[in-house]
Amino acid sequence: MRHAPPIWVIINAVQGGVPPRPQRETMVFRIFRRGKSEPTEQSEVLPAHLLVPFSNTPEDREVLQFACEFANAFQAKLTTLCLVEVPRSISLQDCPKTRLEEGEQLAHIAHEIAQQMGCLRFETMVRPAYHCGHAIVETVQSLQADMVLMAVRYRRRLGLQTLDDTVETVLRRAPCYVWLYGVPEQEK
């Protein structure tokens, strides 16, 4: 399968009527798509269902705020996925209640952000998972989401900065657009 080239999108917070964000003036996003490089039908151009993995980091909150604006602009449904990692020694059905309650708290925070942003079509999901990347891909497939919007997390390996396993898995396996948001290392 031939991969489409990545699309770079630069949004200037001063142009286009977007309210300025105090922490940064320019945000850089990278959008990836598996499969065809040219959209062939209207449904591929306008996303109808967006998925945002949410873990309540500052980057995740910014991604969710942008996703709410994006969903409202395209009248798309927005689903926030709050994952609870479970060790492989425990069955997913036997996930401890305390871990599920943590996921519910994340879902409540995401719901509050969506309400503040005025998101019209919004839902949250809490799901236990062994590996977050695989759970995100399975959720994309079950919901038939058109785009995943997620924060980039890096790790240092042998002095090199690389993407973490979750992001790599989603980029390799998700059958939809993947929108990545990251803060340059010097701003953290």
The pLDDT value given to residue 186: 53
Residue 121 falls inside a structural domain:
yes
Q: 143: helix, coil or strand?
A: helix
Residue 10 domain-assigned? no
Give the span between the Cα atoms of 25 and 104, in whole angstroms.
33
- Residue 22 in any domain: the answer is no
Residues 6+ apart with CB under 8 A from 21: 13, 27, 62
Contact 8, 28 (CB under 8 A): yes
Low-confidence ranges of the chain (pLDDT < 50): 1-29, 36-37, 39, 41-43
Specify the pTM.
0.76
The predicted pLDDT at position 38 comes to: 52
Q: CATH number for the domain including 154? A: 3.40.50.620
- Identify whether 12 is part of a domain: no
Domain count, the chain: 1
Structural domain includes residue 14: no
Q: 55 is in which domain, residue-wise?
A: 47-187
* Inside any domain, residue 105: yes
